[in-house]
Amino acid sequence: MRPEILFPLFADVGQLTGIGPRYAKLIEKAAGPQIVDLLWHLPSGLIDRRFSPAVAEAPDGLIATLTVTVLRHEPGRGRAPYRVICADESGEIELVYFHAKGDWLEKLLPQGQQRVISGKVERFRGKAQMPHPDHAVPPTEADSVRIVEPTHPSTDGLHQRILRKAIEGALARLPVLGEWINPTLVQQRQWPAWDVAVRAVHHPQDRLDLEPETLTRQRLAYDEILANQLALALVRARMKKQKGRIIRGDGALRDRLIAGLPFSLTGAQRTALAEIEGDMAAPNRMLRLLQGDVGSGKTLVALMAMANGVECGAQAALMAPTEILARQHFATIEPLARAAGIRCEILTGRDKGKTRGAILGRIAEGTAQIVVGTHALFQEDVEFRDLAVAVIDEQHRFGVHQRMVLGQKGQGVDILVMTATPIPRTLVMTAYGDLDVSRLTEKPPGRQPIDTRVISNDRLMDVIEGVARRMDAGAKVYWVCPLVEESEALDVAAAEERATTLRERFGDRVGLIHGRLKGPAKDAVMASFKDGPIDLLVATTVIEVGVDVPDATVMVIEHAERFGLAQLHQLRGRIGRGDKASTCLLVYAAPLSETGRARLSVMRESEDGFRIAEEDLKLRGAGEVLGTRQSGLPTFRMADAAGHNDLFEVARDDARLLLEKDPELESPRGQAARTLLYLFERDAAVRYLRGA
């Protein structure tokens, strides 16, 4: 149960004084539905209203706060604006209102009385004007106007004044809470108390106060990061508590798999396997993340881990986020497994009726030793005879909850999570803090480096001619169309248009693939590109993950400046998978922004996915780094993954230490930490505590 002390913060914003239903809806759109959301809605700028010149000296285009006397009202006729003529000893100023109600203005600015007005001064034909002043108050209230006023991200129809009023209402409800941070750390960093920090962050006095490195911002960021790390540590402790099983096969199947490979394992693969096999042999459950750059051989490592389970007479499952990727994995794994004597099955949403029933039967009786599939493996009617190992690919497309659901399909299931998206250390901690980590940093022998070039789109005809020469020499070519915006329909339209223009030049050798194609149609296009008549494949980003066409040695990415670095790296990883030299052309539209230029030069200089991911984090922030719209990353509102990088490790260690000393969070600091979890809505983790 949420602690009672937090009830006032978790009420609807409509309960704040002076916020009616219309404004409540707009505030919900800008900040969120609850009063606590307003606390996390940080200022993005500020207006200094302390400048108070005489009217004649007020500069054009600047915000000024003036003390004037109201001389007369001039209601506008027809479409003309309503004007209120005011003056001080130095001269006159016109207050200009469009679509204003005269009776309201007469109350606000009574003739003959003094008022303090604040807003942007404009000079029009030598006259001073102030269109729609932001403030107009009696001189007794001047101090409430002559301030540094923060501005917040807003939405159409929501005036800053109303949003500010709501935030002040939220601040008035701030409770004093117990300290959940280690007191030594608070002292060492000179951080203020939580409520002091929240008030201060909403009352900046200069632009420096808006920066992530201020003590108040650091403190609040740390609170949020600590809540995230505590929640993950509690999930981890719960999973580790659940009894695992010792899985230590005799190595026979694994030896056969290695003997059937045309190459030997890399050093990084051997190290990762040793770590995985060590986890599997322990009585606790394995919870490990296998991070491998594009083409580093993760699937083979996963197959060896699954074979270890099969050697013990149990089953293994590999789950992928899309049908294309599930079938790709099956195509890679099945021949190797069959040669070693392991029976594989594939189950996706496409399997229906009798076919599905037969597959489910083989899974339930255990004749299907390794099962590859999509989300279909989560469904209730999927029952394993004895599931011991679950491998989840491209984990950031799922989430902690789904990871646990698959883990419940058997007794003490060992879980291996794989990702081909190199993730910066900071984000590994935020998204996978409950997992141990192995990294594959080498590529298999024989892989050629990829020649990456950056070309302006006014040379598109040269690009097409270059592609024609490579196709005539037997190359297969990917042509990736721009990410138009957050709209799959527009992405598809862009790809269709490009495919049409390229067909004029290359005819039926051009294929098209995008996310709106049904599974069988996608498979048919990919098969035709891999082994058939299609030599140039126009695609949206659906080809990003896992598609393997060794003859594809050229990739053109249009509007490369619109993609994230991690995504460009993933796309580029679709080529250079055989032993032939490959070329990636990043086509950009001029003029390039500074960030765009930096991003493309990193791509030209490096093929190291981990370096690229770290650069991406610096350039774009955490929200976009994984290059997917549903990244499964926790969303941070106070913390900035790049700006508060150092705090993640501190919070992880702090959370682990706190739980080691006080596993049920019962001490005074532990109780405060429970409140913290509720404050940042990580309360699902509280359920893992005894007596919660």
The whole-number mean pLDDT for each consecutive block of 10 residues of the chain, a chain of 692 residues, reads 92 92 93 94 92 94 95 89 95 92 92 96 91 94 91 90 94 96 95 96 91 92 93 80 85 93 88 95 89 81 96 94 85 93 91 90 95 84 91 66 65 85 68 75 74 91 93 92 59 78 93 81 85 90 64 90 81 81 90 82 83 72 41 67 81 92 93 94 75 46
Q: Which helix (H) or strand (E) holds 69?
A: strand 63-74
Specify the domain boundaries for CATH 2.40.50.140 within the chain: 50-146
Query: Which tokens in the block code for residue 609?
Result: 């996915």
Encoding tokens for residue 135? 């403030």
Comparing CA positions, the residue from 110, 46, 60 lying closest to residue 84 is 110
Q: What is the DSSP letter of 445?
A: T
Cβ within 8 Å of residue 392, ≥6 positions away: 318, 319, 398, 402, 403, 406, 415, 416, 417, 418
Maximum separation of any 2 CA atoms in the chain, in Å: 99
Helices and strands in the chain: count of H runs, count of E runs: 23, 22
Partnered with residue 270 across adjacent β-strands are none
Q: What is the assigned CATH class of domain 50-146?
A: mainly beta
Rounded Cα gap, residues 621 and 608, in angstroms: 19
Half-sphere exposure (CA, 13 Å, Cβ side) for 382?
A: 27
- Asked if 502 and 538 touch (Cβ cutoff 8 Å), the reply is yes
Between CA 161 and CA 47 the distance in angstroms is 12
State the pLDDT at residue 438. Answer: 87
Predicted confidence at residue 35, as pLDDT, reads: 95
Which homologous superfamily is 450-606 in? P-loop containing nucleotide triphosphate hydrolases (3.40.50.300)
CA angle 658, 663, 668 (to 5 degrees): 65
Q: Which residues contact 622 (CB under 8 A, 6 or more apart)?
A: 426, 427, 430, 633, 636, 640, 641, 642
Burial of 348 (0-12, 13-18, 19+ CB in 10 A): buried
Q: Say if residues 253 and 211 touch (Cβ distance below 8 Å).
A: no
DSSP at 314: -
Neighbours of 374 (CB within 10 A): 21
Regarding pTM above 0.85, the answer is no
568 close to 561: Cβ distance less than 8 angstroms: no
Q: How far apart are CA 576 and CA 28, in angstroms?
A: 48
Give the C-alpha separation, 551 to 526, whole Å: 13
The CATH classification number of 252-440 equals 3.40.50.300
Is residue 314 a contact partner of residue 389, using CB atoms and an 8 Å limit? yes
Backbone torsion region of residue 680, taken as left when φ is above 0, otherwise alpha when ψ lies between -120 and 50, otherwise beta: alpha
- DSSP code for 141: G
For the chain, the residue count is: 692
Check residue 439 and give its pLDDT: 83
Cα separation, 42 vs 252, whole angstroms? 59
Neighbours of 517 (CB within 10 A): 17
- The structure tokens 């294929």 sit at 511
Going by the DSSP 8-state scheme, the letter that residue 630 receives in this structure is S
pLDDT in tens, 279-337: 999 988 888 889 887 677 888 999 999 999 999 999 999 998 888 788 888 988 999 99
Amino acid at 47: I
- Which residues in the chain are classed under CATH 3.40.50.300? 252-440, 450-606
Residue 291 Cα distances to 187, 432, 622, angstroms: 37, 11, 18
Instruction: Assign 368 to helix, strand or coil.
Output: coil
* CA 387/CA 363 separation, integer angstroms: 10
